Amino acid sequence: MTKRIALATGGLYQAMSHLQAEVRKAGANAGLDLKLIELVKMRASQLNGCAYCLDMHAAEAIEAGESPRRLYVLEGWRETELFTEQERAALAYTEAMTVISEHKDVPEEVYAEATRVFTEDQYRALAWSVVTINSWNRLMVASHAVLPERAA
């Protein structure tokens, strides 16, 4: 694989990191569960094929108290009852936003369910969480980011 120019450096990276911190704070202030946010990040990263972000957010999800079992079946979330109503709405919304080019919009039923189970502030924080993880995925995939060393 060709070594790529690192994109996660410099002032633009710092600005993106600052945006991520603000999005994290907005989610916490809105009362979004950190485990839900990590599921969102994992699902977008699965769809985008970002190994770097999958590795990072799996570790962060487990650190936040997420069950490894739910992470194992995340790609098939519709097939199980392991996810709450809010998590299901967040995952559907994440998928719609991540593959927005397929529909050219977030389908009405996905939007309606998300706004039914989340407050306006929670919905905004969820949307920004999806936007930022998709941006991170694109940066890491395009630069062939190498996984950090971790215990197996």
Least confident window among 6-15, 46-55, 122-131: 6-15
For position 135, which CATH number holds?
A: 1.20.1290.10
In this prediction, residue 69 carries a pLDDT of: 97
Q: Is residue 131 part of a domain?
A: yes
Q: Own/partner pairs for 31-36, CB < 8 Å, 24+ apart?
A: 31/119, 31/122, 32/118, 32/122, 32/125, 32/126, 32/129, 33/86, 34/64, 35/61, 35/64, 35/65, 35/66, 36/86, 36/87, 36/90
Q: Is residue 9 part of a domain?
A: no
pLDDT at 152 over 70: no
Q: Is residue 13 part of a domain?
A: no
In this prediction, residue 76 carries a pLDDT of: 98
Q: What is the mean pLDDT of the segment spanning 95-99?
A: 97
In this prediction, residue 147 carries a pLDDT of: 82
Q: In which band, very low, low, confident or very high, does the pLDDT at 1 lie, cut at 50, 70 and 90?
A: confident
In this prediction, residue 8 carries a pLDDT of: 81
Residue 73 belongs to domain spanning: 31-142
- Reported as a single tens digit per residue, the pLDDT across 10-40 is 899 999 999 999 999 999 999 999 999 999 9
- What's the domain count of the chain? 1
Q: Is residue 5 part of a domain?
A: no
Q: Is residue 92 part of a domain?
A: yes
Q: Is residue 26 part of a domain?
A: no
Q: Is residue 110 part of a domain?
A: yes
pLDDT at 132 over 90: yes
In this prediction, residue 37 carries a pLDDT of: 98
Q: Is residue 12 part of a domain?
A: no
Kindly report the pTM of this predicted structure. 0.93
Q: What is the mean pLDDT of the segment spanning 86-95?
A: 98
